[in-house]
Amino acid sequence: MKFVIIEDERLNASRLKKIVEQLDDAFQVIDIIDTISGAIEWFQQNPHPEVALMDIRLGDGLSFEIFDQVKVGSAVIFTTAYDEYAIQAFKVNGVDYLLKPVEREELEAAIQKIERTRQREVPVNDGLAELIDYVRKKETGYRQRFLFPFRDGYKTVNVSDIKLVYSESKITHLVLTGGAIQLANQTLEELEQQLDPAVFFRANRQFIININSIESIHNHFNGKLKVVIRNNAQHEVLISKEKSSSFKQWLDR
């Protein structure tokens, strides 16, 4: 059985390749691709292997865009670091969904499911369109903007314009790219659920930071990390030793 891995994190790709090749001597990873554009070109120019292992979020977008451009003949196993997509109901007909770090036993079970499906001559990607549609909706389900009273009417603030969120005296402040500060009714706990976790990280009890607003990161005392927010010297954001590992994983994608 042949595999192609679509993954932009080198260590994860290497780990998947190692697991696949250890499961069975007959299993072969024929290529590793790290972009959506590269995957589209690869599927257009090469015979499709039996299985494609795909990370959902790549550096240039969602891997679902591949299916908009080419009909993938491989059985697809999605991998992702985001558990908000883990819907057991969609684990049918050879289409599976594994959370990172992918465990050997989980991948083996997914491959066995594909093999059983092929033996029954059932289309292995029967549930693929429904899964992609659901997760796309989930992907765009995060808050995109805020509506605030303004003078004698209202104004909107786009989430993309928020570089930092902090709580002070139990009041939530949104720091905007231009330096303005907007007060919000939501708590940090509520915003943590509403904002896209690929872009926003809950640094500690006081701050949520936008990845695009980070200027630099420094080692601090007792294993902590200090994050410097661009053009915002007045706020010192510290990541605890316990949370520094997940913070680094969030950055290293």
Report the distance separating Cα 11 and Cα 81, nearest Å.
14
Under 8 Å between Cβ of 29 and 77: no
Share of the chain above pLDDT 70, in %: 85
Across 58-62, 129-133, 163-167, least confident range: 129-133
Rounded to whole angstroms, how far apart are CA atoms 26 and 23?
9
DSSP state of 102: P
Higher pLDDT, 130 or 169: 169
How many CA atoms, within 13 angstroms, populate the side-chain half-sphere of residue 176?
A: 13
If you count them, how many residues does the chain have? 253
Together in a domain, 114 and 185: no
Q: Say whether both 35 and 70 belong to one domain.
A: yes
This prediction's pTM = 0.53
Final residue of a structural domain among 139, 174, 204 = 139
Does 152 or 100 have the greater pLDDT score? 152
Question: How distant is the alpha carbon of residue 167 from its chain centre?
Answer: 26
Give whole-number Cα distances, 181 to 11, 40, 72, 162, 177, in Å: 39, 43, 47, 9, 9
Contact 26, 7 (CB under 8 A): no
| Domain containing residue 101: CATH number | 3.40.50.2300
* Residue 242 shares a structural domain with residue 208: yes
> What is each CA distance from 160 to 129, 143, 145, 171, in whole angstroms?
29, 10, 8, 21
Q: Please state, in angstroms and rounded to a whole number, the distance separating the CA atoms of residues 7 and 178.
A: 35
- Considering the domain architecture, whether residues 17 and 68 belong to the same structural domain is answered as yes
Q: Would you place residue 103 in the very low, low, confident or very high pLDDT band (cuts 50, 70, 90)?
A: confident
Q: What's 173's domain CATH number?
A: 2.40.50.40
Same domain, yes or no: 39 and 114: yes
pLDDT at 34: 93
Whether 24 has a pLDDT exceeding 60, the answer reads yes
Cα–Cα distance between 105 and 219 in angstroms, integer?
37
Tens digits of residue pLDDT in 143-199: 888 999 988 889 999 998 999 999 999 999 999 988 899 999 999 999 988 898 889
Q: Which helix (H) or strand (E) holds 32?
A: strand 28-33
Please indicate, yes or no, whether residues 132 and 164 belong to a single structural domain of this protein: no
pLDDT tier, 26 (very low <50, low <70, confident <90, very high otherwise) = very high
Within this chain, do residues 116 and 58 fall inside the same structural domain, yes or no? yes
Examine the pLDDT at 201 and tell me if it is beyond 60: yes
Q: How many angstroms separate the CA atoms of 91 and 128, rounded? A: 10
Residue where a domain terminates, one of 139, 164, 192: 139
Burial classification of residue 3, based on how many CB atoms lie within 10 Å of its CB (0-12 exposed, 13-18 middle, 19 or more buried):
buried
Give the pair of three-digit tokens for residue 16: 């998947």
Residues 6+ apart with CB under 8 A from 107: 16, 19, 20, 23, 77, 98
The torsion region of residue 169 among left (phi > 0), alpha (psi -120 to 50) and beta comes to: left
Q: What is the pLDDT of residue 16?
A: 94
User: Do 133 and 153 fall into the same domain?
Assistant: no
126 and 28 housed in the same domain: yes
**Containing domain of residue 101, as a range?**
2-139
- Does the pLDDT of residue 85 top 50, yes or no? no
- Total domain count for the chain? 2
Say if residues 126 and 92 touch (Cβ distance below 8 Å). Answer: yes
State whether 69 and 159 are in the same domain.
no
Looking at every residue in the chain, the average pLDDT score rounds to 85
Does 173 lie in the same domain as 76?
Answer: no
124 and 152, same domain (yes or no)? no
